Amino acid sequence: MSTASVPLPNWINYALLPLINLILAFLVSGFVVWIIGENPYDALVLMLQGALGRGEGIGFTLFYATNFIFTGLSVAVAYHAGLFNIGSEGQAYVGGLGAALAALALDRYVPWYVTMPFAVVAAALFGAAWAFIPAWLQAKRGSHIVITTIMFNFIGAALMVYLLVNVLIVPGKMAPETRTFLPGGQLPKLDWLMALFGLKLGPAPFNVSFLIALVMGALVWVLIWRTKFGYEMRTLGISRSAAAYAGIPYVKIVIITMLISGGLAGMMALNPVMGASARLQVEFVGGAGFVGIAVSLMGRNHPVGIVLAAILFGVLYQGGAELSFDMPNITRDMIVVIQGLVILFAGALEYMFRPAIVRIYQQLARG
């Protein structure tokens, strides 16, 4: 019997194997740190202190994590239906346009809690719209969604630069960005939440969109495991032909799944655009859409796993920023290396250790 089909308990599949893969990714990253002449252990300590040491660090960590929860959920929803959405980056970017338009239109007239629902819906709609064409192409014309979503990342970037440089720019200003939103278009910080734990937020932009992200995580869980649609999605993800025999409509599932995925990615824009900088800027997504791929793989496509993985990557982002102050040899690009290694080990090589684990497990079970 091949070791691939031996059933393993859930804690091995969902905790031990990802943990081993994660440790391996960190060991290789540590090796890179060692190559450039720094002490990996010192780097790790500095990183953890920077990310988790003070209230401000935790605030930044959770701010980054908020982005990654949204994009991680976006990638995961598509993944459950067997679709690999590399386009979260572009969908988040275009989603920012929706959030910004809502904020620009309303911030003068109403307080933030009135603007927020409109901004959430607008960001989700714009993100979903950007996912629609790749979804339609996949469903109806059979073009590969990976390629089309990559293409749409580039097209989205070009579109947003055009809009920011030529349309949305403040007349007379040089920087390609919209005007600063008034408080009616800004999401308030969560300093009260931090204060509950006796922590001071300081200048960290940790804001209400974190709570929206958690709500979305819960909704995604309900959608995937507690609805008929989620069941159909998962069936399609496991086997397209089985889904067809069960009478599950392929076109409908693919398109709706991608709209949800794009919508989740679009909502990520709330956090940086309305929660942090209070304006729409060029390249504000900053790779969070791609981090979502690593987060989703690391979290095994489950909302709980995704929240944990997003916090882990938040730690890497914030800790990495602090680390680059203290060890100028290690730039923030180290995060990209770790990200690549996590995707490699947790994604492409996820079953590398499975045969060995199966053997050990069987021996233990017998003994």
Partner 1 sequence: MDYFDILVSILGSTVRLSIPLIFTALAGLFSERAGVFDIGLEGKMLAAAFASATAAYLTGSPWAGLASGIGVSMAFSLVHGFASITNRGNQIVSGVAINFAAAGLTAVLGQAWFRQGGRTPGLPADARFGPIHLPGAELLHDVPVIGPIYMHVISGNNLLTYLAFLAVPLSWWVLYRTRFGLRLRAVGENPGAVDTAGISVTWLRYRAVLVAGFLCGFSGTYLAIAQSAAFINNMSAGKGYIALAALIFAKWRPVPVMLACLLFGFLDAFANFMQGKSVPGIGEVPVQIFQALPYILTCVLLAGLIGSANPPKAGGVPYVKER
Considering the rule CB under 8 A, would residue 94 count as an interface residue with partner 1?
Answer: no
What angle (nearest 5°) sits at the alpha carbon of residue 349, between those of residues 40 and 20? 50
Considering the rule CB under 8 A, would residue 341 count as an interface residue with partner 1?
Answer: yes
Tell how many helices (H) and how many strands (E) occur in the chain.
16, 0
Write down the least CB distance from residue 165 to partner 1, Å: 8
- Residue 197 Cα distances to 47, 96, 190, 347, 354, angstroms: 22, 32, 12, 35, 40
Tallying the residues shown for the chain, one arrives at: 367
Interatomic CA distance for residues 210 and 47, integer angstroms: 22
Task: Give the x-and-dash track for 258-297 against partner 1 (CB under 8 A).
Answer: --------------------------------x--xx--x
Considering the rule CB under 8 A, would residue 86 count as an interface residue with partner 1?
Answer: yes
Q: Terminus-to-terminus CA distance in the chain, angstroms?
A: 20
Among 188, 202, 286, 347, binds partner 1 (CB under 8 A): 347
Considering the rule CB under 8 A, would residue 225 count as an interface residue with partner 1?
Answer: no
Long-range contacts of residues 238-243, Cβ cutoff 8 Å, at least 24 apart = 238/82, 240/82
Task: Give the x-and-dash track for 100-139 against partner 1 (CB under 8 A).
Answer: ---------------------------------xx--x--
Number of C-beta neighbours around residue 304 at 10 A: 13
Considering the rule CB under 8 A, would residue 31 count as an interface residue with partner 1?
Answer: no
Write down the least CB distance from residue 15 to partner 1, Å: 20
Considering the rule CB under 8 A, would residue 6 count as an interface residue with partner 1?
Answer: no
Among 175, 352, 356, 360, binds partner 1 (CB under 8 A): 352
Helix (H, G, I), strand (E, B) or coil at 189: strand
Considering the rule CB under 8 A, would residue 356 count as an interface residue with partner 1?
Answer: no
Burial class (CB in 10 A: 0-12, 13-18, 19+), 149: buried
Considering the rule CB under 8 A, would residue 151 count as an interface residue with partner 1?
Answer: yes
Interatomic CA distance for residues 52 and 63, integer angstroms: 13
Task: Give the x-and-dash track for 153-182 against partner 1 (CB under 8 A).
Answer: -xx--xx-xx---x----------------
Considering the rule CB under 8 A, would residue 329 count as an interface residue with partner 1?
Answer: yes
Interatomic CA distance for residues 276 and 266, integer angstroms: 16
Considering the rule CB under 8 A, would residue 142 count as an interface residue with partner 1?
Answer: yes
Considering the rule CB under 8 A, would residue 343 count as an interface residue with partner 1?
Answer: yes
Of the candidates 305, 330, 310, the one whose C-alpha atom is nearest the C-alpha of residue 320 is 330
R_g (Cα) of the chain, nearest Å: 21
Q: Stretches 35-43, 51-59, 124-132, 183-191: which one binds partner 1 (CB under 8 A)?
A: 35-43
- Residue nearer to partner 1 on the CB measure, 224 or 338: 338
Q: Would you tell me which residues interact with partner 1 (CB under 8 A)?
A: 2, 32, 35-37, 84, 86, 133-134, 137, 141-144, 146-148, 150-152, 154-155, 158-159, 161-162, 166, 290, 293-294, 297, 329-331, 333-341, 343-344, 347-352
